[in-house]
Structure 1
Amino acid sequence: MLDSLTIRNFRLFEDLTIERLGRVNLIVGKNNSGKSCLLEAIELLVSGFSPQVVFGILERRSEYQAPLTSSRPERLAPARNSDPHPVSNLFFGRSLEHTSIRLQADAGKNRIDLRVDASYYADNDRHRPEYLGPQPVIGAANRRFLQIHRLADGNESPRPLLPLDLDLAEAVSHLGTSGGPAIVQVSATGLSGDDIGRYWNALALQPLQRRVVAALTAVFPEILDVTVNYDPDLGEYLIRVRLADGGITTVNSLGDGVRRLFGLLLAVTAARNGFLLIDEIEIGLHWSVQQALWQSLFTFAEDLDVQVFATTHSEDTVSAFASVWSGHEDAGAFHRLQQHPKTRKATVHTYELETLSGSLETDSEVR
């Protein structure tokens, strides 16, 4: 679990430090204050700046779109002669030149300290990294790589992460996946049907599956049971519910809130021993169910060793969080991101439970 976090030169964060993180963290702030950027920085940090995570982040933001046809690596121009590479969007000022992203965190007795930059390697450089994927443009004198330095290990030798002279999807497709903690990312649109099916099947014949169903039915008592099955005719997973009146229907017929809550409950189980990142957690959820959601998230997170980071715009969500946090005082943390009105520098303020509760009671602005 991360106890603190420092981000430098990542997106709009020139230098941001959160000194205290909890097991369950709620992050608020105005539009463009950096809430989603913070989730992305955490995802990159705990994945060791995985190229697959880089690809996913850029694709979710539409900062990269794969070519419509299969790429021809031998026809791709070197990065120095092409449009800015998509990964430049991750760097402060959107520049790969003379800039390094720095992600640091304390995690118990361990420290994570990553520096990521882009460098050229000459073809005749005996220290150039080996890469088994497509080769660069024929005759190109240099190859540029996104590279990582793991400073906490005392290792200043960079490890190549991603070749930048090739199409991003083409390059990532030739890289193996690296191990690490579970990381589950839930966007504002919720989990896909495939993710819901995969997470549900992973709980088959486990008591945890019944706990998920019990948590859902406690909020929606008209639901007695839930099942998720793949429909080969439709080519997708269907979530069906059995109702108290004896009827059976799909979860979509009950509204977005039921599907959203069910997805979040599955997501926290899939993040066991890892991290759950939720953007705009309140989407689709009525204020009346949010306290029950937070109670489930705190309980599941503590039982399954999950660290949760969620963002919101909703005052109802903040109030529900504060109410449940009071029963799990050592587990929660509340962070407000903002930008300095003149310098536009991003800053963060972390609230104690007493301070947050007092602000809510006096109707002070905390969102």
Structure 2
Amino acid sequence: MLDSLHIKNFRCFEDLTIPSLGRVNLIVGKNNSGKTTLLEAVSVFANGKDLSDGSELAQGDWAKVIDKLQSILTNRNEIFGQDEDHSDFGVFIKSKNNEKDQKILFETKSQEEKLEIAVKQDTQKNIYLSIASKQGEENLLLNKKGNIHRYWEDSEHIENLINKKNIKRNNEHYDDLSFTPDQIKQLQESFVFATRGYEILNKKVRFIPSTSAGENIAELWDAIYEENKDGEIYSVLKLIIPNISSIYFLEKSKDVGRIGYLKEIEDLKAKPIRSMGEGISRLIQIFLHAFLSRGGCLLLDEFENGLHYSIQEEVWEKLFKLAKELDIQVFATTHSEDTVKAFSKVALRSPEEGQIIYLARHMREQDPDKGKISAIVYNENDLEMILQTGMEVR
């Protein structure tokens, strides 16, 4: 679990220090203050700070960092495919063009955990992306435009990885994995060693976007069902539907995929989950990811989306409880004053577990740091004041 955070040269963060972090952290601030970017930074850091050294799947570890950088670009529509003057990595660097230091730094205040991502050039003018943690360093050749080259785009490298023995999935071991060139090609886009189950059950850093649209909830549900955790999901959904009796997924067509249905005790027929409002889908999404992030990190963008203010305190209560039981560190963003108040109430009942992080830009003309983003951490005394005075921290 991260106890503090220092970010340098990452997107809008020139040099951001958060001196302390809780188990559950709520990030607030005005638009364009870097709330979602902070989630992205934590996601990259958490994926890369435990890079293996010399293990069979070491390259799979650092590939998670590349995968996360690539997904950030994709989600923000920032892929540069044609313009020779741009590069993927240039989007992430927050430094002036004439600066030689093209390095992103993530570290804890004690520097016990550290991740550096930099662009390097050799004597032959080949451009490399360097990813380094305390466990080691990996240099990855970028393509001619300086764009990030995901290692699974390399068929030979994919073939070497998926033919390694003892790749684990759902407590089973596949000892004789072999794939045809066509099968290897199909695997390149999805970055799955052997089956989707491996990725779902072993992904400990989970990023939940601001909506549930497009999320493959069925696969997450399957993973939870196999671990007999579905009963706990039902207990959460009863906040909205007290008479819920069952959830199941049916495949109507290959194009649409599996559709989720929810049945109540008094109803003879189940209803599509999507037809019951955003709140139901949002709760299912949040808690499926939470149960699957045991021992890892849960990142939640715009917590309040789809959730009525009247149930938010109970949702936070369950998240705080789950975070402690499963050793999860939670980071969430919000624009909602109701969410801040609900969070503060629960955090005050959970000493040293929750805190609010306020991000703001320096705006005064005479300020030498004008435009720079800084963080203010609200402790338990501050949270008490927020509840008593209605102080706005947005």
Name the CA distance, whole Å, in 1 between partners of 2:130 and 2:148: 17
Quick check: 1:98 aligned with 2:101?
yes
Contact 2:89/2:148, CA 8 A, preserved across alignment: no
Name the CA distance, whole Å, in 2 between partners of 1:170 and 1:269: 32
Name the CA distance, whole Å, in 1 between partners of 2:351 and 2:252: 44
Between 269-278 and 220-229, report the one with greater CA deviation. 220-229
Deviations 1:113-141 (A, max 9, x none): 12221111234xxxxxxxxxxxxxxxxxx
Contact 2:67/2:150, CA 8 A, preserved across alignment: no
Quick check: 1:160 aligned with 2:139?
yes
Q: TM-score, normalised by structure 2?
A: 0.77
1:181, distance to aligned residue in structure 2 (A):
6.3
Name the CA distance, whole Å, in 1 between partners of 2:387 and 2:272: 38
- What are structure 2's unaligned runs of at least 5 residues? 49-61, 159-190, 194-198, 365-369
Query: Relative to 1, partners in 2 of residues 1:286 and 1:161: Cα closer, same or farther, differing over 3 Å?
Result: farther
Identity among equivalent positions (%) equals: 31
Residues 175-186 of structure 1: matches in 2 within 5 Å?
182-186=204-208
Name the CA distance, whole Å, in 2 between partners of 1:51 and 1:160: 12
Contact 1:242/1:249, CA 8 A, preserved across alignment: yes
**Residue 122 (structure 2) aligns with:** 121
Query: Relative to 1, partners in 2 of residues 1:89 and 1:319: Cα closer, same or farther, differing over 3 Å?
Result: same
SS at match of 1:313: coil
**Residue 89 (structure 1) aligns with:** 91
**Residue 362 (structure 1) aligns with:** 389
1:190, distance to aligned residue in structure 2 (A):
2.4
Quick check: 1:55 aligned with 2:55?
no
- What are structure 1's unaligned runs of at least 5 residues? 68-80, 124-141
1:26, distance to aligned residue in structure 2 (A):
0.4
Name the CA distance, whole Å, in 1 between partners of 2:9 and 2:390: 35
The one of 281, 293, 305 aligned to 2:327? 305
What one-letter code is carried by the residue in structure 1 that aligns with 2:309? W
What one-letter code is carried by the residue in structure 2 that aligns with 1:56? S
Count, aligned residues: 329
Runs of 4+ in structure 1 deviating by more than 6 angstroms, as ranges, are 175-181
Contact 2:66/2:148, CA 8 A, preserved across alignment: no
The one of 204, 218, 225 aligned to 2:246? 225
Name the CA distance, whole Å, in 2 between partners of 1:205 and 1:198: 11
Residues 238-249 of structure 1: matches in 2 within 5 Å?
238-246=259-267, 247-249=269-271
1:231, distance to aligned residue in structure 2 (A):
3.4
Q: TM-score, normalised by structure 1?
A: 0.82
Name the CA distance, whole Å, in 2 between partners of 1:3 and 1:346: 20
Contact 1:24/1:331, CA 8 A, preserved across alignment: yes
Name the CA distance, whole Å, in 1 between partners of 2:306 and 2:122: 49
Name the CA distance, whole Å, in 2 between partners of 1:105 and 1:191: 34
Quick check: 1:262 aligned with 2:313?
no
Query: Relative to 1, partners in 2 of residues 1:210 and 1:149: Cα closer, same or farther, differing over 3 Å?
Result: same
1:278, distance to aligned residue in structure 2 (A):
0.8
1:234, distance to aligned residue in structure 2 (A):
4.8
SS at match of 2:38: helix
**Residue 376 (structure 2) aligns with:** 349
Query: Relative to 1, partners in 2 of residues 1:356 and 1:162: Cα closer, same or farther, differing over 3 Å?
Result: farther
Name the CA distance, whole Å, in 2 between partners of 1:249 and 1:234: 20
